[in-house]
Amino acid sequence: MTSLFNSDLDTLLLPFSFTFMHQAFVIVLLVAIPTSVLSCFLVLKGWSLMGDAISHSVLPGVILAYVLSIPYAIGAFAAGMFCALATGFIKDNSRLKEDTVMGVVFSSMFGLGLVLMTKVETGVHLDHILFGDVLGVSWTDVLEAGGIALLVISFILFKGRDLLVFVFDQQHAKAIGLPVGLLHYGLLSILSLTIVGALKAVGMILVVAMLIAPGATAFLLTRKFQSMMLIALLISTLTSFLGVYLSFFIDSAPAPTIIMLMTLIFICVFFYSGYQTKRASAALDPKDQKNQQDQQHSLETPKEAFAE
């Protein structure tokens, strides 16, 4: 019995005996922290498509960085910022809405990246850019992801209150004298940085889910912003760790496994929150039901969020 127990325990602990698994566990956690925090701001701001746009736009930057023999993170960040700036410029100088402009810009950038990929001989594998290669990262990649996570979290801690006001009501933020331009491009900058940090772990396509799913799931569970951030952080770190761990035993790619776990949690929370809403509404009169529905689709004000 004892030998059987020891054998089972050894099997469960087997993933922790390999260096490449240690690196994978650490880097997915370092990616999960900034993406989960940013997801709350993106969901509330309605910028989910912006994360998708910037993540797709980094491909030509990666190729050009290879041609120029510079770190591809620099090229990816530059391409992401160009996408964000181009989106803002076209929006401000045309009658087009922001989502339309983003669709044009990011598809154009992604198309350019694919063309460059076929014309330039690079050592960069397309699958690794699109879907990540978390099992092939080095400790240098881990340190890079850690540095980016530190920068992103520091910015949010330093400008958290101002960012929250900006996310809720940009006009109000401008009226009370907040540097709206700095907040706007600051948020875009840390979004681009976060995507760059996540490229090697989950790739440019799957990072979109990590920038949306944790915040969207947390939004269904609470109306308090700080609670929303904590729930999103818990969901993201837990699914990232379990995704890498389970992928070792089921022989699947870690990044898609992480995304599937996030999706499963979102589906469960969606049905749970819907059930709770219907159950609570059943005991209310029509007027109270309308008020409750309005509360379910809103969040506390910035003043309430940071109240002592």
pLDDT at 264: 96
Query: 1 lies in a domain?
Result: no
pLDDT at 131: 78
Query: 271 lies in a domain?
Result: yes
Structural domains in the chain (count): 1
Query: 110 lies in a domain?
Result: yes
Q: Which residues of the chain have pLDDT under 50?
A: 306-308
pLDDT at 300: 61
pTM recorded for the entire structure: 0.85
pLDDT at 308: 41
Query: 80 lies in a domain?
Result: yes
152-181-54 Cα angle (round to 5): 55
The H-assigned helical ranges of 93-224 are 98-119, 126-131, 139-168, 170-175, 180-210, 213-221
Is the separation of the CB atoms in 201 and 255 below 8 Å?
Answer: yes
What's 70's DSSP letter?
Answer: S
Q: What is the CATH number of the domain that holds 182?
A: 1.10.3470.10
Residue 149 belongs to what domain range?
20-305
- CA 212 remoteness from chain centre: 6
